[in-house]
Amino acid sequence: MLAVAAGAAGALAALAARLISDELSAGRPLAALGWATAAGTAVLGGLACELSALRHLPVARVAPLVLGMQIAVPVAVAPVLAGEDGDPRRWAVRSWWPGLSR
């Protein structure tokens, strides 16, 4: 359960990072600060959960779950929460060449 919480916290931090960028580009620094606070809190909570999980389970069981959630959850919810378009070809270009994001 702690590994799931750590993965969820990492996913929240990744989504918050995207929303920070959106808020800053829209000229809303206070909203960006709020998301940055949420991201920082999620990272600290996720770290605490991950370290606690590692005290009870081997790394080979904790790491894949945490990493998988940190990747899969933001990709799954980005079309809804962040307004991503959902075209997998654009995601592939973004992941392989970040300079071509638009």
* pLDDT tens for each residue of 65-82: 898 888 888 888 877 776
DSSP notation for 2-57:
HHHHHHHHHHHHHHHHHHHHHHHHTT-HHHHHHHHHHHHHHHHHHHHHHHHHHHHS
Question: What percent of the chain clears pLDDT 90, i.e. is strictly above it?
Answer: 44
What is the distance between the alpha carbons of residues 43 and 70, in angstroms, rounded to a whole number? 11
The whole-model pTM stands at 0.73
User: What are the residue ranges spanned by the domains of the chain?
Assistant: 2-100
Q: How many CB atoms lie within 10 A of CB 90?
A: 14
In which band, very low, low, confident or very high, does the pLDDT at 58 lie, cut at 50, 70 and 90? very high
Is the pLDDT at 87 greater than 70, yes or no?
Answer: no
